Amino acid sequence: MESPSKSDVRRLALVDKLADHVLAHGLVTASLRPLAKAAGTSDRMLLYYFPDKSEIIAATLQCIAARMVAAMSEHVSPEPLSLDALSQRLSAFLFEDRFWPYMCVWLELASRAGRGDPLYTPIAAAIGHGFLEWGEAQLAAPDPETRARDAAKLLVRIEGMVLVRAIGLRAVVERSLS
- Over residues 90-129, the pLDDT tens digits come to 888 888 888 999 999 999 999 999 999 999 999 999 989 9
Q: Is-contact 86 135, C-beta < 8 A?
A: yes
Q: Which domains does the chain have, with CATH numbers?
A: 1-61 (1.10.10), 75-178 (no CATH)
Return all residues near 60 (Cβ < 8 A) that are at least 6 apart.
15, 18, 19, 22, 30, 35
Q: What is the pTM of this model?
A: 0.86
Residue 115: CB atoms within 10 A of its CB come to 9
User: Running DSSP on this structure, what letter comes out for residue 98?
Assistant: T
